[in-house]
Amino acid sequence: MGGHRGRVHTANTEGHGDHGEKSNAEPGVCSTLDTRRPALNISLLIVFSPISSKSRGVQDFTAGGISALRSSFSSSGNPEFDRRIQELVRDWGVHESPELIAEMIVTALRMGSDAVPVADLKMINRSLKELRQAARTFAPYSGIRKVAVFGSARTPGTAPEALAAEAFAAKMREHGFMIITGGGEGIMGAAQRGAGREHSFGLNIRLPFEQRANEIIEGDPKLVNFNYFFTRKVNFVKETHGIALFPGGFGTMDEGFEILTLMQTGKARIIPLVLVDIPGGGYWRTWVRFLEEHFLAQRLISPEDFNFFRMFDRVEDAVDEIVNFYRNFHSYRWVGRSELVIRLHQPLAPGSVESINAKLSDGFLAQPLRAGAPLPDEKNEPEIYRLPRLICRPQRRNFGRMRALIDEINRAEPAAVEE
């Protein structure tokens, strides 16, 4: 097994790494999970109840890219029209981000004078409505971590793969996560059964031949129907804190490669992605072998790109991978062009930061990790302002190394909690 496959993990059928038993990694592969000390109390990681719109966190799936966008009003070029637009926004009762709402109105008016074809106007109008509906649906639950589950809609509900998806979703629910699926049958319906209606979201797509919502999520207010795949995919990426891929067809491959591309290019935050198969299954092994023999062999991807995912054939180990990703790591955010702020649940023990810097001393960190206070640009996230932070300046070229950095932080010993 080549060195690059050290980032790809599959479990055997014995034991749990998290409980100090036999390692679940493939022979010759070092597990990325630290099995020598107990995990942090999971209650530190998850908010279990919906929170109000006034206190909900900023959901920036780009890790700072959206927050960096200008939010001030851009003039229409006509002071009188500016006044009337801003007056309209005030009269409508917009209290949050009125400048952005006013600018959206200006953009719509400009399309009216740009001779945009009616088909494009219909598409833009429909897309905006779908994005609005999805945002309203997810908003009350923004303080709860979620996992998106993908897999074939054609898999029978009694198939081993479907039973594994159901068990996976049930275990993620036990850890305080909610489940997002495409709302259909097969793997999606199985995951929804495991999570239960109360802990599920369905992002359904209107198709001419299939995709009625499954019986678990049908009629639930957390079911959102989409006409366009691209608006649906944005919400999968935007709202989730972990991805689980079960065996599936083109759609599963599409979603998997989408999130891999976004993480590889730095356009989306790095989140745990697990490939889940049944014990002894060859679906994901074949897929990984294809990546190695074609993508990697032809230098179309880098060895570090294999850091973005882990492969498992035991549901319990896939669950552990996602839960332990947030063991001490909370989130990160780019500030400015190059400064990275990593938020933690607990500060690291003395010497841990220096140890991580030593392990990543090959030029990846242009400026090494240091403990620091919140930066001024983070003031729009008051709900996590109190969290301890690490600040550094990594090279923004190889984001597979970013995942390795997060793993090192989670493995590091946290500081002792004062009584």
State pLDDT tens for residues 93-112.
999 889 999 999 999 999 99
Q: What's the token pair of residue 170?
A: 């049930």
Residue 211's pLDDT is 60
Q: Which CATH architecture has domain 328-419?
A: 2-Layer Sandwich (3.30)
Lowest mean pLDDT among 3-17, 26-40, 118-132, 368-382: 26-40
Name the pLDDT band for 32 (thresholds 50, 70, 90).
Answer: very low
pLDDT in tens, 67-99: 767 667 778 888 999 999 999 999 999 998 899
Nearest to 224 by CA among 178, 182, 266: 182
Of residues 110 and 52, more confidently modeled: 110
* 129: helix, strand or coil: helix
Q: Are 273 and 246 in contact (CB under 8 A)?
A: no
Say how many Å lie between the first and final Cα of the chain, rounded. Answer: 47
For position 75, what pLDDT does the model report? Answer: 84
Are residues 59 and 142 in contact, defined by beta-carbon separation less than 8 angstroms?
A: yes
Q: Confidence band (pLDDT; 50, 70, 90) for 59?
A: low
Domain 144-325 grouped into CATH 3.40.50.450: yes
**pLDDT for res 278:** 96
Quote the pLDDT of residue 10: 42
* Inter-helix orientation angle 400-411/352-359, to 10°: 150
Q: What's the average model confidence in pLDDT over 140-154?
A: 96
Q: Which residue intervals of the chain bear CATH 3.40.50.450?
A: 144-325
pLDDT at 48: 32
Relative to beta strand 273-276, strand 310-312 is parallel
**What mean pLDDT comes out for the span 359-378?**
89
Q: Could you tell me where in the chain the CATH 3.30.1360 domains are found? A: 328-419
146-150, 242-246, 285-289, 395-399: range with lowest mean pLDDT? 395-399
Which residue, among 112, 177, 170, 167, has the nearest Cα to 141 in the 3D structure?
177
Q: Is the pTM of this model over 0.75?
A: yes
Q: Which pLDDT score, from 0 to 100, does residue 210 have?
A: 60
